Structure 1
């Protein structure tokens, strides 16, 4: 079976969805599925330095999976640039899409995904769509008028002709149903790699950051973006004037917004206990996920929350807001703390965490076992293969 995954970008600046599609294709290929990726050289305001207009399997940064990059139209107009228009990608899809049994499209409201679904319809190739949370209430409220027009005039027909929609959490599916669109769908979470245990990870991390061993470390690891709720987490921590804690921020974002967050840290007087570690990956990322005491994602909306799942797989309890789609699972399995996206509520939840380190550790220990049992990539890939078999044109 030949499966083509199409996504506007696999750049790290685009966060979890880009990482997920590479890991998904890797897992599928390990089980014998001939899966590959088509995308653009989008990298936010910049462009990726990658081979264009041809398939490559030699890029370690992208998992060494078969991937084709096409040039993105890059005018100095943010809305047009973000749309990820690519004439070369369009031409290639028109010429080659019939070579595949099924198309797995990731994202909506982007030229790349929209044109892929349209061409698949014309060529009578079945496709499924993973909306990446863009049909959730919070996302639809951003640039609301433009998205409503786009959805009603263009994307609605694409979605209605899809074989199915791929949601990664029940909460994402429930929010979609509010739109009243009668489209088949399924819920299948992202997988996660269960990391190798790093001996004395907490001791190592405290030493690297030069933080006394008795001070718990709270980790924010994600894109530094307004969606992620740092404007709530920072004031919440600022209220804990007498508490011992350190905040580690791992990620990158637009310079203007990063400056805003730095100003916010100063305003709430926690700059001196905040550690900026930048974008981390590989063993360094594993060390942070295993070496901290609490992972915090106080986001407005997440259709999944990949970094939070990775933290749980590392044995670290999480603090998530109810807009993060895995929040019901975290609460039901008691793998961390779930709170409202309110400063006072977040402060109160962190106080509970700080008051009982042993309870937090027990949550983390449960999390590691639960994630290993339910979120392995092998398990997810096996489920995807069954779905493809159901819908593919063979």
Structure 2
């Protein structure tokens, strides 16, 4: 592969930084794009100004430069959940031919639809990253019939027409629904920047912000308060943990998603363990690092994770992880010896948490193994190099 990657790439994604509320894909697309720029690529992003029910405070109709990435924000219109943006569609129709390759992220949304259509109309090659939305569990989770109809009637030709389908883990690839529509699959993991986790805040820093944590054994949940994150499972498991270990404390760090946090707080009250739970809201930057530094372990009780960025961040901080078998990197975590994988079953989740809380030496050993695995497999430098190989392969095949 040529190390100076002089290619013009367009990333299309319905939402982008600083819309952190949308979770891992927003950051992962930016980090990959930033690294591609470092390798010599010219990367442009077409996205909307959506930020949940609000609009991002960003300029419309001009370029915003973020870490060398040229970002174009377009106004989102109703229905907002579909990220409809006529302005984005017009820009794609007028400019898509200027790019060597398009990388489309997400499914079931307007930007994905219009980007794939324009690529096919103007004969521009594209990669499609479903970001977990083809996962059979995701398809079956909510509105199954509607999703299957949308995929079959609308997205099938777009999936089939892609130069490749990109998956962020082998688990995501294996679990994908109707991925046979296109057998050109590539797996490139997401990553992190290890340097960000090399100098963590002192563990006392988080206690100063949340004094109720002083002297407690901390289990950290980091993510959106959303059904898919399995907080109903975790809040059923937590009273079992507290009955065995009264000094255990659960930190739930993340933004409320469509009022789901109200349910989570009620479940905590119903379990009678309010004194053993702290809600911090969304944590970013140093605050997030302080939480990771203070935690004794990390938990992800998810019904679905196409990758699990927060899990990898915890591993990068040397923390053992307890995750469900619905996390698509569960095989990698288990093989690395970096944590415990459980079914989506509250008693089993509780047992895993209790075991690690009672055996800190085992937890430290798992944390060390996890950090080593992340350093070897889950970095953005590695991901960007592998993705440039994918892009070059697509472009070379096109020239033949």
**Does the pair score TM above 0.5?**
yes
CA distance in 1, matches of 2:287, 2:67: 18
Give TM-score, length-normalised by structure 1: 0.94
Give per-residue Cα distances to partners, 1:61-86, cap 9 Å, x unaligned.
Answer: x5563100000113xxxxx3211111
1:50 counterpart = 2:58: yes
Contact kept in structure 2, 1:6 and 1:105, CA below 8 Å:
yes
Aligned-partner SS, 1:258: helix
- Counterpart pick for 1:28 among 26, 36, 45: 36
Name the stretch that deviates more: 230-239 or 136-145. Answer: 136-145
1:68 counterpart = 2:72: yes
Alignment of 1:318-357 (within 5 A): 318-357=321-360
Alignment of 1:73-84 (within 5 A): 73-74=77-78, 80-84=79-83
Alignment of 1:252-331 (within 5 A): 252-254=255-257, 256-331=259-334
Give per-residue Cα distances to partners, 1:250-274, cap 9 Å, x unaligned.
Answer: 1102353111111111111121121
Specify every segment of 5 or more residues in structure 2 that has no aligned partner in the other structure, as ranges: 1-6
1:174 counterpart = 2:178: no
CA distance in 1, matches of 2:364, 2:270: 32
Name the stretch that deviates more: 176-185 or 137-146. Answer: 176-185
Match of 2:209 in 1: 208
CA drift of 1:31 comes to 1.3
Aligned-partner SS, 2:318: coil
Name the stretch that deviates more: 11-20 or 190-199. Answer: 190-199
Match of 1:223 in 2: 224
Aligned-partner SS, 1:190: coil
1:4 counterpart = 2:14: no
Runs of 4+ off more than 6 Å: none
Aligned residues: 385
Give TM-score, length-normalised by structure 2: 0.93
Specify every segment of 5 or more residues in structure 1 that has no aligned partner in the other structure, as ranges: 75-79
Match of 1:105 in 2: 104
Match of 1:382 in 2: 385
From the superposition, tell whether residues 200 and 113 of structure 1 become closer, same or farther in structure 2 (CA, over 3 Å).
closer
Give per-residue Cα distances to partners, 1:281-306, cap 9 Å, x unaligned.
Answer: 11111121222111111000111001
CA distance in 2, matches of 1:323, 1:185: 21
Contact kept in structure 1, 2:298 and 2:314, CA below 8 Å:
yes
CA drift of 1:196 comes to 3.9
Match of 2:113 in 1: 114
CA drift of 1:367 comes to 1.3
CA drift of 1:106 comes to 0.3
Aligned-partner SS, 1:66: strand
CA distance in 2, matches of 1:64, 1:201: 32
CA drift of 1:207 comes to 3.8
Give per-residue Cα distances to partners, 1:220-276, cap 9 Å, x unaligned.
Answer: 110110000010001101122141211111110235311111111111112112111
Contact kept in structure 1, 2:201 and 2:293, CA below 8 Å:
no
